[in-house]
């Protein structure tokens, strides 16, 4: 039973759900294009559904559960999954940055308490409750902390991000003279010889953003600003050299402890963080090669992974439920890049719009505003939904809200 006292936080869910339902297929603009108001309403409805169905403190008896449950409506309350917490908070940040609605900002300090408190691995490191045995889990948290700073200007968020990167992430780099890895950020603190795309792409993004926000954060000690750019370039270059196919744009999953590159596993989230890091470095340096790399990785998803009537494979549960959402987050930034040729931007723009239209019309339950990871089939009204695919749906709707019109 949900708490009545939280109605102030989630009161709009029914309104948004009804609004999104009301502007269904019959009210599309010409050429099957939906207008900005439609995507705003979809994003609002799905963000409210996230709070209403997954935010732990929304339920009677769990007043201090400042944590996003793994299943909707108490269907799965495991705390064995740390990294989705960062992406759930990212959706809250998206909604706050887009609307400036204080209900979203009110979750910031609560999540800031809950994420480390419920961290299943935090007790293994008494120095830092945010620490996790999975390096990539910490990286997702750090990227979220940087965005919390970006959206509030509260320095405690980026100071924590910097500390985690400096203390726990960058030290897993290398050794650079060790064959056949020659560097790379490790995937897991107790598996030092596995160097994965999911740990290197986000690490490059973190270092680049610490460089970009260095002056705004007014860091006074520790590493100098240029060190972060140097590290971002080093990490990115390593991933490009070892895990990026320069012919097709594929991003391979890892080079394992035996030194073998796993080329059979190609996931959208690795494409997303690679192209995101490339785009970030292009914005900093102006080097067009970064932009070319980003477009090549994006095209791999469009031309080689979207075989299900022009959309990506269904992703209905587990870690994989989140992969597409991470891809959307960075893909839309690239689609908005005005330095790209018009035809390239149009391809990216049309692809993202097609994905969102299919999801909104077929995959989202217009009553509950939940998305279960299937493009063509919405979850039933009483069907439990996992957190990870719903987050991917939220991120696609948020991406449509920031997608710039083509000129």
Q: What is the pLDDT of residues 345-399, one digit of tens each?
A: 999 999 999 999 999 999 999 999 999 999 999 999 999 999 999 999 999 999 9
Q: What is the pLDDT of residue 21?
A: 34
| Nearest-angstrom CA–CA distance, 268 and 291 | 18
Give the fold, CATH level 3, of 78-402. Glycosyltransferase (1.50.10)
Residue tagged 């939904």 (tokens)? 385
Contact 193, 256 (CB under 8 A): yes
Adjacent-strand bridge partners of 188: 134, 191
For position 273, what pLDDT does the model report?
98
* pLDDT at residue 19 in the model: 33
Number of residues in the chain:
407
Angle between helices 387-402 and 342-358 (to 10 degrees): 140
Distance (Å, rounded) from C-alpha 138 to C-alpha 128? 11
Residue 125 structure tokens: 């490191």
The answer to whether the CB of 34 falls within 8 A of the CB of 357 is yes
Output the pTM of the full model: 0.92
Residue of 8, 118, 3 lying closest to 59 (CA atoms): 3
pLDDT of residue 181: 95
pLDDT band for 126, please (50, 70, 90 cuts).
confident
Specify whether the CB–CB gap between 59 and 74 falls below 8 A. yes
SS3 state of residue 31: helix
Tally helices (H) and strands (E) across the chain. 16, 4
Q: Among residues of the chain, what percentage have pLDDT more than 90?
A: 88
Average confidence score pLDDT of the chain? 92
Q: Tell me, letter by letter, the H, E, C secondary structure of 5-23.
A: HHHHHHCHHHHHHHHHHHC
Give residue 223's Cα distance to chain centre.
27
Distance from C-alpha of 384 to C-alpha of 380, rounded to nearest angstrom: 8
Gap between the Cα atoms of 394 and 52, Å rounded: 14
Closest CA to 140 of 253, 272, 250: 272
Q: Determine the pLDDT at residue 376.
A: 97
> Using CA atoms, how far apart are residues 151 and 185, in angstroms rounded to an integer?
28
Number of neighbours of residue 263 by Cβ within 10 angstroms = 12
H/E segment holding residue 387: helix 387-402
pLDDT value, residue 383: 97
Q: List, for residues 287-312, the tens digit of each pLDDT value.
A: 999 999 999 999 999 999 998 899 99
- The CA distances from residue 207 to 165, 202, 220, 236, in Å, are 8, 9, 17, 10
What distance in Å separates the CA atoms of residue 1 and residue 319, rounded to the nearest whole number? 28
Strand residues in 8-136 grouped as ranges (E): none
pLDDT-based confidence at 14, cuts 50/70/90?
very low
User: From CA 82, how far away is CA 121, in angstroms rounded?
Assistant: 9
Could you read off the pLDDT of 332-343 as tens digits, one per residue? 999 999 999 999
With beta carbons less than 8 A apart as the criterion, state whether 342 and 283 touch. no
Q: Distance from CA of residue 382 to its chain's centroid? A: 27
Q: Is 293 exposed, middle or buried (0-12, 13-18, 19+ CB in 10 A)?
A: buried
Mean pLDDT throughout 322-334? 98
**Is the predicted pLDDT of residue 241 greater than 90, yes or no?**
yes
- What DSSP line would sit under 208-267, residue for residue? HHHHHTHHHHT--SSS-HHHHHHHHHHHHHHHHHHHB-TTT--B--EE-TTS-EE-S---
- pLDDT at residue 123, as a whole number: 86
* Rounded Cα distance, 11 and 131, in Å: 35
For the chain, the domains span 78-402
């Amino acid at each position: 039973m949900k708490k009545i006292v939280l109605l102030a936080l989630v009161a709009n869910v029914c309104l948004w759900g009804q609004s999104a339902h009301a502007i269904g297929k019959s009210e599309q603009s010409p050429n099957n294009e939906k207008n900005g108001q439609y995507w705003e309403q979809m994003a609002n409805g799905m963000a409210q559904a996230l709070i209403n169905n997954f935010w732990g403190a929304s339920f009677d008896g769990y007043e201090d559960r400042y944590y996003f449950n793994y299943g909707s409506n108490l269907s799965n309350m495991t705390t064995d999954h740390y990294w989705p917490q960062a992406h759930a908070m990212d959706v809250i940040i998206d909604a706050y940055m887009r609307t400036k609605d204080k209900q979203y900002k009110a979750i910031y300090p609560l999540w800031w308490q809950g994420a480390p408190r419920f961290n299943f691995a935090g007790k293994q490191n008494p120095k830092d409750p945010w620490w996790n045995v999975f390096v990539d889990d910490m990286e997702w948290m750090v990227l979220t902390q940087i965005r919390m700073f970006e959206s509030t200007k509260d320095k405690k968020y980026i100071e924590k991000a910097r500390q985690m990167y400096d203390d726990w992430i960058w030290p897993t780099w290398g050794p650079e003279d060790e064959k056949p890895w020659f560097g790379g950020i490790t995937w897991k603190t107790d598996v030092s010889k596995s160097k994965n795309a999911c740990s290197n792409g986000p690490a490059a993004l973190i270092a680049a953003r610490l460089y970009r926000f260095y002056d705004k954060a007014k860091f006074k000690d520790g590493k100098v600003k240029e060190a972060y750019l140097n590290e971002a370039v080093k990490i990115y270059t390593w991933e490009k050299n070892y895990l990026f196919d320069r012919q097709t744009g594929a991003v391979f999953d890892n080079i394992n402890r035996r030194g073998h590159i796993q080329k059979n596993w190609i996931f959208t989230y690795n494409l997303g963080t690679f192209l995101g890091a490339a785009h970030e470095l292009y914005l900093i340096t102006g080097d067009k090669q970064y932009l070319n790399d980003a477009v090549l990785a994006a095209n791999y998803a469009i031309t080689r992974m979207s075989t299900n009537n022009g959309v990506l494979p269904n992703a209905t549960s587990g870690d994989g439920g989140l992969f597409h959402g991470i891809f959307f987050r960075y893909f839309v930034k690239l689609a908005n890049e005005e330095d790209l040729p018009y035809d390239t931007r149009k391809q990216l723009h049309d692809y993202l719009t097609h994905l969102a239209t299919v999801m909104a019309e077929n995959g989202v339950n217009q009553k509950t505003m939940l998305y279960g990871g299937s493009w063509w089939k919405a979850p039933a009204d009483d069907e439990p939904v996992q957190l990870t695919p719903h987050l991917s749906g939220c991120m696609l709707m948020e991406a449509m809200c920031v997608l710039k019109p083509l000129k």
